């Protein structure tokens, strides 16, 4: 998250919001947000949402995710909101909605993701 410049903005049980500002670290050859950056911020938001409801002493890892890219934008920031859909002891299913927010607050759809997380023991 630090390398990309992502910012944790909101944490609630089963919900996390991450913002990713536009920069040359997260763009593709046409200067729009790269799909890999959209996927990363979606994975992070969903993963952290799952972590908020993970059993005591556990972390989560992503087993798989599926993403639909809906649009690419320049400038502004991406906002990813991750939500837990189905908590579980062995699997946690989450979604993330990624939207673009321009410098004037106008929003547009970027990506939708569904993800499966696996709780694993914390390692110190």
Question: Domains in the chain, ordered, with CATH?
Answer: 7-121 (3.10.129.10)
| Average pLDDT of the residues of the chain | 95
Looking at residues 108-123, what average pLDDT do you find? 96
**Residue 1 pLDDT > 90, yes or no?**
no
pLDDT, one tens digit per residue, over 52-87 is 999 889 999 999 999 999 998 999 999 999 999 999
pLDDT, one tens digit per residue, over 28-50 is 999 999 999 999 999 999 999 99
56: Cβ–Cβ under 8 A, 6 or more apart, which residues?
none
b (16+ CB within 10 A) / e for 66-85? ebeeeebbeebbbbbbbbbe
Percent of the chain with pLDDT over 70: 100
Sheet with 77-86: strands ordered across: 7-12, 15-21, 77-86, 92-101, 107-121, 58-69
Q: What is the pTM of this model?
A: 0.94
> How high is the pLDDT of residue 3?
87
Percent of the chain with pLDDT over 90: 91
> How high is the pLDDT of residue 72?
87
């Amino acid at each position: 998250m630090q390398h990309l410049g992502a910012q944790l903005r909101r944490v609630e049980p089963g919900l996390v919001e991450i913002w990713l500002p536009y920069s040359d670290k997260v763009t593709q050859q046409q200067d729009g947000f790269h799909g890999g950056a959209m996927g990363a911020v979606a994975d992070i938001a969903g993963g952290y949402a799952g972590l908020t409801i993970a059993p005591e002493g556990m972390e989560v890892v992503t087993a798989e995710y599926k993403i639909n890219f809906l649009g690419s934008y320049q400038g502004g920031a991406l906002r990813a909101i991750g939500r837990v859909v189905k908590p579980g002891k062995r699997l946690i299913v989450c979604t993330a909605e990624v939207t673009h927010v321009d410098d004037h607050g106008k929003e547009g759809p970027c990506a939708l993701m569904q993800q499966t997380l696996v709780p694993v023991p914390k390692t110190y």
